[in-house]
Structure 1
Amino acid sequence: LWLAHKYGRDEADAHLLSEWEGYLGSENFHDLIYYDYTDKEQTFDAHSYNKGGAVLHMLRYIVGDEAFFTALARYLTDNALSAVEVDELRIAFEDVTGQDLQWFFNQWYLSTGHPSLTVNTDYDTVAQEVIVMVKQTQDGRQMPPIFQLPTWIDIYFPGRAQPIRQAVTVDKRQQEFRFPSTQQPELVVFDPEHTILAEWNIEKSDAEWAIQFRRAARFLDRAMALRALAKSELPELDQVISAALADPYWGIRVQALQSFTQAQFKPVHYDQIRQLAAADPHAEVQATALIKLGIQGDEQAVALAKEALKAYPYRVVNAGLTVLAKLAPQQGVAAAEKLTPEERKAVLSGLASLYVATNDPRYLDFFRTHLSEVNGYEALSFYDKYAQLAFLSGGENLNTAIQQFRTIAMDMGQSGWRRFGATKALSEIGNNLSELVEEEGNQSAQQQFEQVRAAIDAIKQAETDPQLRGIYEQF
């Protein structure tokens, strides 16, 4: 709600997609109202948050905004300062709407799982009917075999600006909807508001996906179309890519940059990408465009990367440093020297890429100094690059890195990201040392390999996080 209010519907829908993916990618599906937890922390999972928000979003579209907000206000007022169960929420919505909503709460709150939907369309030229076929394919032994799903179907016709919207309810395992039409549609979109939480298999031709990108209004329409067209050889793909790179929503521009291959991008697209790298108003788009040009070795990539170092968004500066690390490390080092200490601290990952590309051991001190200042995914990348440079330097420099990684990994006061990053870096060092021993019989490498192996064994014993212990068994 807030994202839609503040930034628009596209931003809200992109967030909803992220929430869906977080839930669908989770393990151990259980009822949304869950009583079988053994630890209170188990209640703070992708069901309570991701699925919970998505279910309320569906309910909002089923009852409408006026009833939704009125019912929420009633629920809060009637149950103020008291403990509640899910039935109180259902009763508030039923009182306001006059509807029996037991079916909705039973399947979404009090049952496990979600529907898996296969949707395809056809046109019966004899009967002159648009046909939409919907199958529910979820495992009925693990979750409801049939979900009741009120939604709409949008039917698009050539020459008609707006689609015809038909209200439908899916309430069978396999269902066919037919709509009279003297004209064959060019596109049919099932659940056009994209509110149903489900695993989807939507069967469309590449030509239909291209029309969907061009004509359907929602972020998810465009995002699904780009995903489906990523390996397409459709003749009109050039127009789709151009439109995606110029899309008003930044997330679609990023997806376009990431989805298509060098062979699919034409010179006109690279002109657009250079413009995005130079001046897109959204930092993520500008940074992604820079990286894309760097990967392709574009003739203007180095100049654009140097300009990026003057940018304020540090995401863009990091991208510029990464491109320079790949294409012109020494120029990048010279340009990086002009950054202020505050700026340098904000772009540690970019500087790490740059310094490891030089293969110069004098930059090892940079890594040693900042080991405790990185976290999350940045820590994994930073530690990996430190390990690479330390291994190339060898000798005491490598011994120092091994000891630093061991110290971090065994310190349960460090974040899980740092502990994992340090252990992973040690494992990579160990793999590289093992190859040296096998290929050259290097005795010094053998001693350092034993040092690494002993460190990882000690880390496995010291680690208290069960998930990390499981991962460490691979090392």
Structure 2
Amino acid sequence: YNVYHTDGFELFDGHMYNKGAWVLHMLRHQLGDATFRRAVKAYLERFREREVITADLERTFEEVTGHSLAQFFQQWVYQGGYPAFEVNYSWDGEHSMARLKIKQTQQVNDLTPCFVTPIDLTFTIPTSDEVAKDEHTVETRTQAMRVIVGEDGQVEQSFYIPLEREPVMVRFDPEGWLLKTLKFERSTKMMRYQLAHDPDVLGRVEAAEALGEDGSTESVAALKTALFNDAFWGVRVAAAEALGVIGTERVQSILLQGLEELTTPEFSRVRTAIANTLGNFQVPQQAELAERSAQALKALLERGDISYRVEGAAAHALGKTRTASCVEQLEKFIDRPSWNHSVQRGIFNGIAASGDDRAIDILAAYLDDSKRPVTLRLAASAGMMTVGGNRHLYSEEARQRAVTALCQAVEHDSWEPVRAVSSLALMSLGEKRAIGVLERVASHETETRAQRDMRLAAQTLRTGDKSEEQLQLLRKDLDQVREENRKLKEQLGAIEARIK
């Protein structure tokens, strides 16, 4: 539902800013820094204080470089999508040759092409057969090369690269120049080496993510080392998140250790990631570990943190554990002041993630109170979006109360961001009775962002498919199980009373 109406600001989205910047980033890589800067200088001088279109940029760059850029602009600007690469690596020891099979898996059609683009490859090779015996060797050299993929519409190509000896590390687009997705499976041994020794931050992040899917003792040890010792906070964050994917008791101990030891301000982002990850240990799947996470997160909230982001993440994660008293514990911290109620947003998200029906009434009370600060009401509406993402945890009655509160906010809240987020929360709840309210309010909404979100929500709800019907059946089954569980608890309580 990408319909632009009367306001030009609607055009200024991620396609213009994020993709636009990345397209220039790729163009700079293909042309080289010096040539790119000359072309930009010529473009700015030629069109100073004048209106321009994309073709003006393209023509100027072609004149400066002497090369046609028609294919580049056609596939990256005038068409849509991006390449989705699947790469397979193997080593032929008999012929001392690396083989890379590169496949573009995106759906190729009139909108999205088979991309023709240069790809950088690097192979890190031990300097001698003797040092190659040490899997942790740093006596290496790097062999780089560039290949062209996608020519003549080939979505799958194989490249054979002769090397002196088997590489300890293989990278595809090592510095992240290309807008893409990448699935590149290599051995865990190679990934552990890459995490420990790749000078490129992106490579170490890539390795951490890959090791999170392994879970072996060696991989956990490598991730722990990165969490506590890597020079860049982003790699430490990736290591924490990868450990959270593994989700064992041993991993939880490492994360709790990190939360206790990485306490200085420069590690605030790392503590945020650790706190988020501790919420992955949940009741009922890992009840004991969930309780352990909840205790650590509660202690963090009670003592506070120098970073509001850490506190907000801890609050959200505490709710995600779904331990018995998490809602009551989170309620205690709602009145603690924070800038723009940033911590309260985490608290409301945590309450919403709990799956406790009481969460709806707590959020609705803050959302409906016009005397509350607007940022607090916005935090409550964001919490309702989290309810939508966890709607299968809530009873039908509770979900209907949430829909009623959100419809009230869409119709009557005085602040446009609250109306906009409440519209998206209604969309996440998937309740079609909200369509009438959304369309009626959108017809006279004066703020275009809120109006667009209302229209988007109404359109999404109207075109919901059969998966929603299946979800309704699952909800009904879950409600029946809850009711049976409640009756069993009552019977058990009666039996215990008789015994006493």
TM-score by shorter chain over 0.5: yes
Task: Name 1:254's counterpart in structure 2.
Answer: 237
Cα distance in 2 for residues equivalent to 1:211 and 1:222: 9
1:304 aligns with 2:300: yes
TM-score using structure 2 length: 0.66
Cα distance in 1 for residues equivalent to 2:106 and 2:424: 39
Within 5 A, what are the aligned runs for 1:9-408?
Answer: 40=8, 43-143=11-111, 145-158=113-126, 159=137, 160-172=139-151, 173=154, 174-246=156-228, 247-259=230-242, 260-263=245-248, 265-266=250-251, 269-270=254-255, 272-275=257-260, 278-279=263-264, 281-293=266-278, 296-298=290-292, 300-308=296-304, 311-319=305-313, 339=336, 345=341, 347-349=343-345, 352=348, 368=369, 369-370=371-372, 372-374=374-376, 379-381=381-383, 405-408=406-409
Contact map agreement 1:213 1:225 (CA 8 A) in 2: yes
Given the superposition, is the C-alpha separation of residues 131 and 314 from structure 1 closer, same or farther in structure 2, using an over 3 Å criterion?
A: same
1:415 aligns with 2:409: no
Given the superposition, is the C-alpha separation of residues 315 and 378 from structure 1 closer, same or farther in structure 2, using an over 3 Å criterion?
A: farther
Helix, strand or coil at the partner of 1:211:
helix
Of the three residues 458, 463, 467, the one matched with 1:469 is 458
* 1:90 counterpart letter in structure 2: E
Helix, strand or coil at the partner of 2:237:
helix
Bigger drift between 312-321 and 324-333 goes to 324-333
CA positional deviation for 1:223: 3.0
Contact map agreement 1:277 1:304 (CA 8 A) in 2: no
CA offsets per residue over residues 377-425 of structure 1, 9 Å max, x none? 652216878xx9xx99x9xxx99x9986543221386436545537958
CA positional deviation for 1:145: 4.8
Cα distance in 2 for residues equivalent to 1:94 and 1:292: 49
Given the superposition, is the C-alpha separation of residues 279 and 92 from structure 1 closer, same or farther in structure 2, using an over 3 Å criterion?
A: same
CA positional deviation for 1:123: 2.1
Bigger drift between 233-242 and 372-381 goes to 372-381
Cα distance in 2 for residues equivalent to 1:139 and 1:363: 42
Helix, strand or coil at the partner of 1:163:
strand
Cα distance in 1 for residues equivalent to 2:339 and 2:403: 29
TM-score using structure 1 length: 0.69
* 1:252 counterpart letter in structure 2: V
Q: Which runs of 5+ in 1 are unaligned?
A: 1-26, 29-35, 432-451
Contact map agreement 1:210 1:225 (CA 8 A) in 2: yes
Helix, strand or coil at the partner of 2:89:
strand
Bigger drift between 248-257 and 289-298 goes to 289-298
Contact map agreement 2:86 2:105 (CA 8 A) in 1: yes
Given the superposition, is the C-alpha separation of residues 142 and 270 from structure 1 closer, same or farther in structure 2, using an over 3 Å criterion?
A: same
Kindly tell me the number of residue pairs found equivalent between the two proteins: 407
CA offsets per residue over residues 197-240 of structure 1, 9 Å max, x none? 22333232333333332333333323333333333133411222
CA offsets per residue over residues 354-386 of structure 1, 9 Å max, x none? 99999799999766343733366652216878x
Contact map agreement 1:213 1:226 (CA 8 A) in 2: yes
Contact map agreement 1:305 1:324 (CA 8 A) in 2: no
Given the superposition, is the C-alpha separation of residues 422 and 164 from structure 1 closer, same or farther in structure 2, using an over 3 Å criterion?
A: closer
Given the superposition, is the C-alpha separation of residues 88 and 266 from structure 1 closer, same or farther in structure 2, using an over 3 Å criterion?
A: closer
Helix, strand or coil at the partner of 1:193:
coil
Cα distance in 1 for residues equivalent to 2:404 and 2:107: 50
Cα distance in 2 for residues equivalent to 1:402 and 1:140: 40
Helix, strand or coil at the partner of 2:144:
strand
Cα distance in 1 for residues equivalent to 2:4 and 2:340: 45
CA positional deviation for 1:466: 1.6
Contact map agreement 1:408 1:418 (CA 8 A) in 2: yes
* 1:249 counterpart letter in structure 2: F
CA offsets per residue over residues 104-144 of structure 1, 9 Å max, x none? 23332333433332222222223222222223344443256
CA positional deviation for 1:154: 0.5
Given the superposition, is the C-alpha separation of residues 147 and 458 from structure 1 closer, same or farther in structure 2, using an over 3 Å criterion?
A: closer
Contact map agreement 1:379 1:417 (CA 8 A) in 2: yes
Given the superposition, is the C-alpha separation of residues 232 and 384 from structure 1 closer, same or farther in structure 2, using an over 3 Å criterion?
A: closer
* 2:41 counterpart letter in structure 1: A
CA positional deviation for 1:195: 1.1
CA positional deviation for 1:267: 6.8
Bigger drift between 358-367 and 284-293 goes to 358-367
Given the superposition, is the C-alpha separation of residues 354 and 348 from structure 1 closer, same or farther in structure 2, using an over 3 Å criterion?
A: same
Bigger drift between 40-49 and 353-362 goes to 353-362
Cα distance in 1 for residues equivalent to 2:12 and 2:327: 45
Cα distance in 1 for residues equivalent to 2:427 and 2:36: 54
Cα distance in 1 for residues equivalent to 2:270 and 2:92: 44
Contact map agreement 1:276 1:286 (CA 8 A) in 2: no
Given the superposition, is the C-alpha separation of residues 297 and 264 from structure 1 closer, same or farther in structure 2, using an over 3 Å criterion?
A: closer
Helix, strand or coil at the partner of 1:347:
helix
Contact map agreement 1:305 1:319 (CA 8 A) in 2: no
Cα distance in 2 for residues equivalent to 1:61 and 1:117: 19
CA offsets per residue over residues 237-277 of structure 1, 9 Å max, x none? 12222133233333333333333233174476145322356
* 1:237 counterpart letter in structure 2: S
